[in-house]
Amino acid sequence: MSWPQRFTAPPEFAPRSLVVAECTACGACCSAPDIHALQKPLGIPCTHLSPECLCAVYTARPAVCRNYQPDWVCGEVAPLPTLSARIRRFLEIYGLEDEFRATERASERAS
């Protein structure tokens, strides 16, 4: 079941500010999740993400990116000082740290 309030953290998380209700250009949604439409793996920034955390193919971005809507997670990760920290926190929130580490190990073995 999805949490009914997009900008309110679920009960198991500490309350967050309701101020973040729009995209903050933090880059987390373009870096942390895997995006199959772009062959982008988990925890790796999209190749189209600029150093300013803006999309270089914004007008031609795939539907999965176009349909993404900011939610409470944005308010959780956006204030963090680096993209790396935002990715790490995003993965923690969704319980994907182990999957990411396994993917990293597999990638290192393949190199």
Per residue in 12-22, pLDDT (tens digit) is 765 555 555 67
Identify whether the C-beta of residue 42 lies closer than 8 Å to the C-beta of residue 12.
Answer: no
Amino acid at 82: T
pLDDT at residue 109 tops 80 = yes
Q: What is the pLDDT of residue 1?
A: 45
pLDDT digits (tens, 9 = 90+) for 54-82: 999 999 999 999 888 888 888 889 999 99
Q: Phi/psi class of residue 50: alpha, beta or left (left: φ > 0; alpha: ψ in -120 to 50)?
A: beta
* Mean residue pLDDT across the chain: 84
- Note the helical H segments in 26-96: 63-66, 72-77, 83-93
Question: Residue holding tokens 């793996």?
Answer: 41
Q: Is the pLDDT reported for residue 29 higher than 90?
A: yes
Domain extent listing, the chain: 28-110
pLDDT reported for residue 9: 65
Which of 75, 60, 62 is closest to 35 using CA atoms?
A: 62
